[in-house]
Amino acid sequence: MHPGHDAVIAARPGRAGRPEPVPVEYAVAVDRYLAEAPLGPASRRVYRISLTSWAWALAGRPSPQGPSRRGAAPPVLPLALLDSERAAPRLAAALADRALASDARTVNRELSALRSAIGWWQDQGWISGDPAAGLRHRPGEAAPVPPLTSSQVTELFRARTSLREQVFWRVLYDSGAHVEEVLGLDAGRIDLPGGGAPVRSPRGAESWIRWRDGTGQLLRWLLAGRTYGPVFLTDRRAPARAAPADVCPVTGRARMSYRRAAEIFRAVTRPLDPAGRGWTLTQLRHADLSGLATQYV
């Protein structure tokens, strides 16, 4: 472990009122993320290797190649570097270099690890920017992922999880809307009696989505009378730089991100997937509505 790994720069209230240290160093933030991530031992090890290797790019230094890569001590750097204007171009250059030296599956896996970690750090309020936002996965040879079957959907809605997840998944399933559209719902624009709401597509077009009565009942429980702010919120307070429209004025919590929603869904569905990988939100929104009995409560 590098010197200074126990250093902190501030303390913020935790869920039970206890102060939570905010890490100074990137390596400490990686440790904290991996301690909370819903990963198995093998995946956790792979994620650590991937996230450690990104430190070289953030420092503006070439990453070791070959067998020496795993044993090399990464540079010590502040987590705040992710919020600097240097971070995005350095990560983009490193991704391009890796695409020349590795297969698409490896490159995409490493990029996914970085995006998941950045999303979690944003949820904690440790960083405000996303220097990986402009990075894109490399095209590979993977076959299209099929929609969930009716039996898989039934299994999903029997899984034990929070009310927030149950409502989000059911709105997505009932409406077939894009994930961004559902996450973009605001309490003040929902028609609870009519079972629908206006949404804005990623391209800016506005349309109307609808859901079934059982979903509407769960939505009432989730909102508990709240008539403003994002419908689907994170568990922690929003970072200081969050847009006002993405923050609940009562709790101070932020609108849930696509990345976090996808991460939770994959973690919950991993035990349900015979392949052990977990399912995707896209598979849910394209699932066949006809095979599921309306058993919501």
For residue 255, what is the enclosing H or E element? strand 253-255
Say how far apart CA 293 and CA 297 lie, in whole Å: 12
The answer to the question of residue 241 being in a domain is yes
The answer to the question of residue 145 being in a domain is no
**65 and 195: one domain?**
no
The answer to the question of residue 135 being in a domain is no
Helix (H/G/I), strand (E/B), else coil: 48: helix
Helix (H/G/I), strand (E/B), else coil: 234: strand
Angle ∠(45,140,33) on CA atoms, nearest 5: 25
Q: Are 185 and 248 in contact (CB under 8 A)?
A: no
Total domains in the chain come to 2
φ and ψ of 255, to 5 deg: -60, 140
Tokens 């009310």 — which residue? 163
**224 and 276: one domain?**
yes
Residue type at 89 in one-letter notation: P
Tokens 């899984």 — which residue? 159
Cβ atoms < 10 Å from Cβ of 176: 12
Mean pLDDT (10-residue bins), the chain, 297 residues = 35 44 86 84 82 87 63 82 90 80 76 88 88 76 72 93 96 91 94 91 76 95 93 89 87 88 90 87 83 46
The answer to the question of residue 144 being in a domain is no
Show which of 90, 124, 158 is a domain's final residue. Answer: 124
Go through the chain and tell me how many residues it has: 297
Q: Say what the pLDDT of residue 152 is.
A: 92
Beta strand segments in the chain, E: 8-13, 19-23, 196-200, 206-210, 233-237, 253-255
**164 and 219: one domain?**
yes
**177 and 215: one domain?**
yes
C-alpha torsion 120→124→130→135, nearest 10: 0
Tokens 């819903």 — which residue? 38
Show which of 89, 106, 124 is a domain's final residue. Answer: 124
Q: Say what the pLDDT of residue 195 is.
A: 95
The answer to the question of residue 203 being in a domain is yes
CA contacts within 13 A on the Cβ side of 279: 22
Q: Say what the pLDDT of residue 183 is.
A: 93
Residue ranges making up the domain that contains 186: 150-291
**114 and 24: one domain?**
yes
Q: Say what the pLDDT of residue 99 is.
A: 75
**277 and 183: one domain?**
yes
**241 and 118: one domain?**
no
| CATH (domain of 282) | 1.10.443.10
Tokens 């939505």 — which residue? 219
φ and ψ of 51, to 5 deg: -70, -35
Task: State pTM to two decimals.
Answer: 0.58
Sign of the dihedral through C-alpha 165, 205, 254, 89: positive
Strands 196-200, 253-255: pairing is: unpaired
Say how far apart CA 138 and CA 103 lie, in whole Å: 9
Say how far apart CA 125 and CA 119 lie, in whole Å: 10
Q: Say what the pLDDT of residue 255 is.
A: 93
The answer to the question of residue 240 being in a domain is yes
**119 and 250: one domain?**
no
Q: Say what the pLDDT of residue 64 is.
A: 67
Q: Are 153 and 287 in contact (CB under 8 A)?
A: yes
Nearest Cα residue to 253 out of 279, 215, 275, 226:
226
